[in-house]
Amino acid sequence: MFKPIAADIKNQIISRIKNNGEAVSKLALEYSVSVKTIYGWLRKKSDSSVSFLEYARLKRENKLLLEIVGKLTLEKNQISHLKKS
């Protein structure tokens, strides 16, 4: 049965996706809202050429790439330090 979702909850979900890059599926489970409903909200809120979903995906991907670069830089520095010793 359809249960209306409070506007503040809806805005909180959209904000967490947009600002934190959180996954729609995770938030759907957390708030007991269907994934389809959240995607509908995002479609309605998207007024730019890049959708919230694409923005969130790119933000998550960027974070992951920065972590990888950081780890590789540390490893390179450690190897370089060992060779000097």
pLDDT in tens, 41-63: 888 876 666 777 777 788 889 99
How many structural domains does the chain have? 1
- Tell whether the model's pLDDT for residue 5 goes beyond 70: yes
Q: Is residue 2 part of a domain?
A: no
Helices (DSSP H) in the chain: which residue ranges? 7-20, 24-31, 35-45, 52-84
Which of the 8 DSSP states describes residue 51? Answer: -
Q: Is residue 79 part of a domain?
A: yes
CATH assignment of the domain containing 56 = 1.10.10
Burial degree of 24 (CB within 10 A; 0-12, 13-18, 19+): buried
Residue 68: φ, ψ to 5°: -65, -45
pLDDT at residue 49, as a whole number: 64
Q: Which domain holds residue 76?
A: 7-84
pLDDT at residue 44, as a whole number: 81
Q: Is residue 68 part of a domain?
A: yes
Q: Count CB-CB contacts under 10 A for residue 59.
A: 16
What's this model's pTM, rounded to 2 decimal places?
Answer: 0.55
